[in-house]
Amino acid sequence: MGCPKGSAFLYARPEMQSLIEPLIVSWGYESEKPSASRFIDEQEWTGTRDIAAYLTTPAAIRFCGEHHWDDVRARCHSLAQYARGQIGPLTNLPPLSPDSTDWYMQMVALPLPPCDVTQLKTRLYDEFRIEVPIILWQNQPFIRVSIQAYNSLADAERLFDALHTILPESNRDASLR
């Protein structure tokens, strides 16, 4: 919702709470006090923290309502879906998942052909001023396209044009190794 880092909250259905372990072991861990919820004992207090970020949450909720954030999310998904549809044919690789909101919303990871991921990421930024995560996982390069309210079709088109230019060179360089 655009809040500062650290202002998130966790909700877990009661029947799933036993599966959630605390990220930080602190007060309440293996609590001996009688409680209605071990989940609350373990999650509620994680030590000393600055609560300022939490105080922004009501304003962020109001902002999302006032700016029709459901429509913004739908537009972002549509643009992510478009990016997925453009990058797949560019790489000639199948997508990782079905084209469904059950699998992705505003962020989609796509496989890339063999390439030097560091070089590709550097060139995208240095030559085109595009910042996008490119990783190597299990010897497979991937690009993660994340769309937010400030992204436009022109941003996506710049990415496609840059990949169209750089990928053939990166593929050639990777095959020479």
Q: What is the pLDDT of residues 43-73, one digit of tens each?
A: 777 677 778 888 888 998 999 999 999 999 9
Q: What is the pLDDT at residue 38? A: 76
Q: What is the pLDDT at residue 3? A: 74
What's the number of CA atoms in the CB half-sphere (13 Å) around residue 48?
0
pLDDT band at 32 (very low <50, low <70, confident <90, very high): low
Residue 100 gets which letter from DSSP? S
In this structure, are 106 and 123 located in the same domain?
yes
Residue 35 resides in a domain: yes
Residue 3 resides in a domain: no
Closest to 80 in 3D by CA, of 144, 176, 161, 135: 144
Q: What is the pLDDT at residue 28? A: 62
Number of independent structural domains in the chain: 2
Q: Is 147 helix (H, G, I), strand (E, B) or coil?
A: coil
Q: Which pLDDT tens digit goes with each residue over 84-133?
A: 999 999 999 999 999 999 999 999 999 999 999 999 999 999 999 999 99
Residue 7 resides in a domain: no
Q: What is the pLDDT at residue 34? A: 59
Residue 124 resides in a domain: yes
Radius of gyration of the chain (CA): 21
Phi-psi category of residue 54: left, alpha or beta, with phi > 0 → left and psi -120 to 50 → alpha? alpha
E strands of 51-162, at which residues?
Answer: 107-111, 134-137, 140-146
Residue 91 sits in a domain whose CATH number is 3.90.1150.170
In this structure, are 141 and 90 located in the same domain?
yes
In this structure, are 115 and 82 located in the same domain?
yes
In this structure, are 135 and 99 located in the same domain?
yes
Residue 128 resides in a domain: yes
In this structure, are 19 and 40 located in the same domain?
yes
User: What is the extent of the structural domain holding 29?
Assistant: 14-66
* Cβ-based burial of 143 (10 A; exposed 0-12, middle 13-18, buried ≥19): buried
In this structure, are 81 and 120 located in the same domain?
yes
From 12-21, 32-41, 99-108, 133-142, the region with the lowest mean pLDDT: 32-41
Position 8 pLDDT exceeds 90: no
Q: Is 129 helix (H, G, I), strand (E, B) or coil?
A: coil
Q: What is the pLDDT at residue 145? A: 96
Residue with tokens 């998942």: 97
Over pLDDT 70: what percentage of the chain?
Answer: 88
Distance in angstroms (rounded) separating the CA atoms of residues 116 and 103: 27
Residue 99 resides in a domain: yes
b vs e for 20-39, b when ≥16 Cβ sit within 10 Å of the residue's Cβ?
Answer: eebeeeeebeeeeeeeeeeb
Q: What is the pLDDT at residue 14? A: 87
Position 6 pLDDT exceeds 80: no
Q: Who has greater pLDDT, 53 or 41?
A: 53
